[in-house]
């Protein structure tokens, strides 16, 4: 499938199945994934191998993985046009990760800020998987000779170590892996918490009013938007010290395509009540088709499993070429198949 489009650059995007993504995840990244498929050869993965560093309940992990896979299809990713797969169904990820573990320095891995943060949060379970997590991420990327990886600021370090590992391996054995670049596409909205607009919207927020889940009920969405923090000025415009209003304007702009100037004109002389209602309605409309398609897909497990099997087969076919190349370079004996 990828060969006949060889001229297009390859983009890999992955998301962990750790609960339903937020409106922030959607407007900031997922919404753009669908459009990327028009210009690039895209691979989209549910990164379930990365999820077991915190030892989830097996039944929960299975359910969440399938839900996340359904959600990726629901946002409009076409499994005929792109490779949409579940990471653990492609064994090459774990195989290449072990090889790359042996080409990653302990000092490099221990400098990863995410490892430090997570070790402090879960001191009772600082496992080797958590430590080697960036190397598995490097394997995810390098397996597909990926040109570009869409990443947030918190993943920048992981892409840097991926590049370092690839350059070290290539330096020792000749050109094996493509050196990936960060994907600088159309900037998605940076959506902040509705209750504390100095913080990014996050599904792990202890205050559930701070975030909107992509599958939230329409009434819940409207309620959360209406209770969003603003200020006492009661004027809709973008400015310093108006973090709450600025955030709502960003969300409204992303859902309607209106510029900040147009939004300011639309709500000139109108209070925050009208503005919040309009933002709530825009968000509900934005998420409606995704929620409807998700509801249809999640009830068709046979179709989801068929798509997942097909995606895994395509991904494996692609990944095995890189893995064989790497195995040959380091000196493993290979069977002729």
Q: Which residues are catalytic?
A: 118, 200, 203
| DSSP states along 38-95 | HHSEEEEEE--GGGGGG---HHHHHHHHHHHHHHHHHTT--TTTSEEEEGGG-THHHH
Residue with tokens 């006492």: 232
Output the CA–CA distances (angstroms, integers) from residue 291 to 50, 65, 73, 74, in the order listed.
26, 17, 11, 7
Q: Which two tokens stand for residue 331?
A: 């000196």
Residues 175 and 326: their CA atoms lie apart, in Å, by 10
Residues 3 and 228: their CA atoms lie apart, in Å, by 48
Dihedral sign, CA of 189, 281, 213, 46? negative
Residue 193: DSSP 8-state: P
């Amino acid at each position: 499938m990828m060969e006949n489009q060889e001229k297009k650059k390859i983009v890999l995007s992955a998301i962990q199945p750790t609960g339903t993504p937020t409106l922030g995840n959607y407007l900031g990244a997922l919404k753009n994934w669908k459009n990327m498929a028009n210009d690039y050869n895209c691979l989209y993965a549910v990164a379930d191998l990365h999820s077991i560093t915190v030892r989830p309940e097996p039944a929960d992990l299975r359910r969440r993985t399938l839900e996340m896979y359904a959600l990726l299809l629901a946002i409009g990713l076409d499994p005929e046009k792109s490779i949409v797969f579940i990471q653990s169904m492609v064994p090459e990820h774990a195989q290449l990760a072990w090889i790359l573990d042996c080409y990653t320095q302990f000092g490099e891995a221990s400098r990863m800020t995410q490892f430090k943060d997570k070790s402090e949060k879960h001191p009772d379970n600082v496992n080797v998987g958590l430590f080697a997590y960036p190397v598995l991420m490097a394997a995810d990327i390098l397996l597909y000779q990926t040109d570009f990886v869409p990443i947030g600021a918190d993943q920048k370090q992981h892409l840097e170590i991926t590049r370092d590992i690839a350059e070290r391996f290539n330096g020792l054995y000749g050109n094996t892996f493509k050196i990936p670049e960060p994907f600088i596409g159309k900037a998605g909205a940076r959506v902040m918490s509705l209750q504390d607009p100095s913080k990014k919207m996050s599904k792990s927020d202890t205050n559930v009013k701070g975030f909107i889940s992509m599958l939230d009920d329409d009434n819940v969405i409207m309620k959360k938007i209406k209770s969003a923090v603003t200020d006492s000025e009661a004027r809709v415009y973008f400015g310093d010290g108006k973090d709450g209003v600025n955030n709502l304007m960003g969300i409204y702009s992303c859902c309607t395509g209106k510029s900040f100037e147009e939004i300011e004109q639309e709500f000139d002389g109108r209070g925050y009540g009208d503005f919040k209602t309009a933002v709530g309605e825009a968000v509900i409309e934005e998420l409606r088709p995704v929620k409807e398609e998700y509801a249809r897909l999640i009830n068709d497990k046979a179709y989801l499993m068929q798509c997942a099997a097909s995606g895994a087969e395509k991904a494996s076919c692609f990944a095995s070429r890189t893995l064989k190349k790497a195995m040959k370079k380091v000196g493993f004996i290979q069977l002729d198949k």
